[in-house]
Each structure stands twice: as structure tokens, then as C-alpha cells.
Amino acid sequence: MIRLCACGQKNHIPPKHLADRGKCGACKAPLEPQSEPINADEREFDEIVSASPVPVLVDFWAAWCGPCRMAAPEVEAAAKELAGRALVVKVDTEKHPSLAAKFGVRGIPNFLVLKDGRVAFQQAGLVRSGEMVRWVERA
């Protein structure tokens, strides 16, 4: 994953360190843990889930889905609150239907929490960020 520093330097962050604090390779400024949802394709999804030492909250969504659009700010809020303790990944079910099928997603938005690569929790439907945070904390 590439993280851009305020100095303009692009820093390559291995998936296993996305939840860690780091330093910019150029200016040595601190790089905070990932605090925004990551839009992932199949390859990125597998890399993140297999390497992450922290739980991963996944949001299965689609652009045409009204409840998914309503959930987006809640997912962003959860990502900010969980920074350093979990990662948040968004999967567009229109672009990556095989990932949705792999997890039995039949309705969206659909959320799941993965811990050590295994499903710890899954639920469909619109929820607030506080509920998403509680799912991750229980994992």
C-alpha cells in the first residue's frame, strides 16, 4: 500500500504494518496508522487479511445501493476510531463479485469482521459506526 506524506513522498507500507505508526522515508515525519477505509481488489484484500495482526472490518457495498451510500460516512467514522486497532476495507461487489460470493454476501451493505483470516462476525444492513466498533472490539 502507498501512503503519501505531507512532504509529498510516497511511502510503501507493507499490509502487516498498516495499523502501525511509522516514519516517512524522506523527511522522517511520523506516519499515523491507517485511519481511512481501503478500497481493495481481490489481491489487496487477500494481502491485507492474511498479513494483518489486527482485526479487519469489511464493508461489502455497491455504488447503486442507497443504504450503502448512507453507510459510507459511518464506515469512515469507524475507520478513524479504530485506527491502530483495526483496519477497514471496502469491497465493491459490482467490481469484485467473487469476494462477495466467497463470504456468502446476498444483501448489501454487508459487514464482516475477520480476525486471523477467519470470520469472527457478519451482519447485513445499515448500522452506525459505534456498532461496527463494538463488533471489532469483540473480535
What residues are labeled active site? 65, 68
What's the rounded Cα separation, in Å, for the pair 89 and 79?
9
The dihedrals phi and psi of 59, each to the nearest 5 degrees, come to -110, 110
Eight-state DSSP code of residue 66: H
Task: Output the furthest CA–CA distance in the chain (Å, rounded).
Answer: 46
Q: What angle do CA 69, 72, 75 make, to 5 degrees?
A: 155
Give the separation between CA 25 and CA 136, rounded to whole angstroms.
31
